[in-house]
Amino acid sequence: MGSREVIVLSVGGVRFVTRASTLQQFPESRLARMVNDDDREFKLVNGEFFVDRDGALFSYIMDFLRTLQVSLPTDFSDYQRLQREAEFYGLYPLANLLRQEHLLKPRLEILEVRFSLQEMQAFFRIFGSCSATIEALAEQITVFTGQQSGQGWSSPFSSQKPLVPLPLERPSHHDMIFQCGTEYSAGDQFVARYVCIKPDNRKLINGTNVLGLLLDTLLKDGFRLISTRTVTSEEKVECYTFERMKSAPGLAIMVNQTPGSSGVAQARRSQMQKGK
């Protein structure tokens, strides 16, 4: 049996097909011993190993053996049961990771957009509980500036001077500030600021249009709008609050593959995420 490359398991009535080498990732585990016919509790029936355990939870164990990463769905809650299953199969590195439940659970992320209109300019300030999200959003947003003649939201781009990108204001790692629209410069010249939010390539000057694109971008990125309120009626500052469940960074296992390895593994942080 140890020479077979493909192994079929029936776990709680759920059928799994995998390579023998996948089950032998951790030589001291019961699954590795099963492949080598060293664990009699796993019965071979019609060419398939029968295991009287939870088949749904075993799918996560197979994912771990194939990727050496623990990355669970945001709605997963059976940490203790999965830990018991890992201990049953002798996968103690996985069981130890599951004990760090606080590292694996998704986190609630809050993001707030403040928007105000003042004459022909619109001002935006974005606050976020997760600095990585603000960093990613800052990479999507670009503000361009240039001079043009005439005044108005719909004024065309100046054909005389190219638009110049401006850095976003970053008061802290958790917020950013930018604006769009026009303001008086000299004579009949006006300084115009346009906003581009990737993956949309348009350069928008109208604050209401920029707000609509920004909110749509956040919704497509998995955020949910939970409240809208007016912060100060005098300055007409509107506040849009969003939330989303953010998957925790995956925990990965580094396996010692040197000859004579006893399957000792070390956990490390992985930047891999499922979704956002």
- Per-residue pLDDT reduced to its tens digit, 116-135: 988 889 999 999 999 989 99
pLDDT score of 248: 61
pLDDT score of 77: 84
Spatial distance between the Cα atoms of 65 and 35, rounded to a whole number of angstroms: 14
Spatial distance between the Cα atoms of 193 and 204, rounded to a whole number of angstroms: 8
Place of tokens 């949910």: 224
State whether residue 204 is helix, strand or coil. strand
CA quadruple 53, 48, 91, 246: dihedral sign: negative
88 and 32 in one domain? yes
Spatial distance between the Cα atoms of 172 and 211, rounded to a whole number of angstroms: 22
Closest by Cα among 63, 43, 50, 51 to 89? 51
Q: Which pLDDT band holds residue 92 (cuts at 50, 70, 90)?
A: very high
Spatial distance between the Cα atoms of 140 and 54, rounded to a whole number of angstroms: 44
81 and 122 in one domain? no
Closest by Cα among 35, 38, 3 to 22? 35
Dihedral of CA atoms 132, 134, 138, 140 in degrees, nearest 10, equals 80
pLDDT score of 273: 38
DSSP state of 214: H
Residue 203 has pLDDT above 70, yes or no: yes
CB 250 within 8 A of CB 69: yes
The least confident of 75-84, 107-116, 166-175, 257-266 is 257-266
Q: What is the mean pLDDT of residues 39-43?
A: 81
Q: Which pLDDT band holds residue 44 (cuts at 50, 70, 90)?
A: confident
Backbone phi, psi, residue 35, to 5°: -60, -35
pLDDT score of 238: 93
DSSP state of 114: E
Q: What is the mean pLDDT of residues 41-52?
A: 87
Single residue among 65, 85, 103 that ends a domain in this structure: 103
In a domain, 271, yes or no: no
- Per-residue pLDDT reduced to its tens digit, 133-172: 999 999 999 999 987 665 454 554 444 568 899 999 999 9
CB 205 within 8 A of CB 153: yes
pLDDT score of 26: 93
pLDDT score of 100: 79
Single residue among 84, 103, 122 that ends a domain in this structure: 103
E strands, the chain, are: 6-11, 14-19, 43-45, 48-51, 69-70, 107-118, 121-128, 141-149, 164-166, 169-172, 175-186, 189-197, 224-232, 237-246, 251-255, 265-269
Residue 240 belongs to domain spanning: 108-151+158-246
87 and 49 in one domain? yes
pLDDT score of 257: 43
Spatial distance between the Cα atoms of 33 and 173, rounded to a whole number of angstroms: 50
Neighbours of 16 (CB within 10 A): 18
226 and 118 in one domain? yes
242 and 122 in one domain? yes
Does the pTM surpass 0.85? The reply is no
123 and 231 in one domain? yes
42 and 118 in one domain? no
Q: Which residues of 214-235 are buried (b: 16+ CB within 10 A; e: fewer)?
A: bbebbeebbbeeeeeeeeeeee
Instruction: Name the more confident of 155 and 206.
Output: 206
In the chain, the number of structural domains is: 2
Place of tokens 């809650």: 77
Q: Which pLDDT band holds residue 187 (cuts at 50, 70, 90)?
A: low
Q: What is the mean pLDDT of residues 200-217?
A: 95
Residue 34 has pLDDT above 60, yes or no: yes
Neighbours of 54 (CB within 10 A): 19
Residue 249 has pLDDT above 70, yes or no: no
Residue 14 has pLDDT above 60, yes or no: yes
Amino acid at 203: K
